[in-house]
């Protein structure tokens, strides 16, 4: 607890922004990996043809 309190007292806005940047970059990277995952390829290819299906 003491360590956490010490850490909190030391954390300035720069630390918060740095942490948020890392988190958002990680989320973005994970999202790209999820989208380009090979096993998902066929499903997304089929989805891309939805507008072309008969009315």
Partner 1 sequence: MSPTTLPDRSVEYDDRIVKQFVIATVIWAMAAMTIGFILALQLAWWPANMGIPQLTFGRLRPVHTNGVIFAFTGNFVFGGIYYSSQRLLKTRMWNDLVSQFHFWGWQAIIVSVVLTLPMGMTQGKEYAEMIWPIDVAIAVVFLSFVLNFAMTIANRRVKHLYVALWFYISFVITIPVLHVVNNLVIPANLWRSYPIYSGMTDALVQWWYGHNAVGFLLTTPILGLMYYFLPRAAERPVYSYRLSIVHFWALVFLYIWAGPHHLLYSALPDWAQTLGMVFSVMLIAPSWGGMLNGLLTLRGAWDKVRTDPVLKFMAVAVSFYGMSTFEGPMMSIRAVSALSHYTNWVVGHVHSGALGWVGMMGFGTLYWLTPRLWKREIYSLQLATAHFWLATIGVVLYTVAMWGAGLTEGLMWRAVDANGQLQYPIFLDIVAQMQPFYWVRLLGGGLYVVGVYMMAFNLTMTITSAPVSSPEPSPAK
- Rounded to whole angstroms, how far apart are CA atoms 41 and 52? 18
**Where on the chain is the footprint of partner 1 (CB under 8 A)?**
28, 31-32, 35-36, 43-53, 55
Q: Which is nearer to partner 1, 6 or 27 (CB)?
A: 27
Task: In angstroms, give the least distance from the CB of 9 to partner 1.
Answer: 21
Task: In angstroms, give the least distance from the CB of 11 to partner 1.
Answer: 17
Residue 17: HSE in the Cβ half-sphere, 13 Å Cα cutoff = 3
Helix (H, G, I), strand (E, B) or coil at 15: helix
Q: Which is nearer to partner 1, 1 or 50 (CB)?
A: 50
- Rounded to whole angstroms, how far apart are CA atoms 22 and 20? 5
């Amino acid at each position: 607890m003491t360590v956490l309190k010490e850490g909190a007292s030391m954390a300035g806005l720069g630390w918060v922004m740095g942490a948020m940047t890392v988190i958002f970059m990680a989320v973005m990277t994970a999202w790209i990996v999820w989208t380009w995952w090979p096993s998902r390829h066929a499903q997304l290819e089929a989805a891309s043809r939805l507008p072309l299906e008969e009315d």
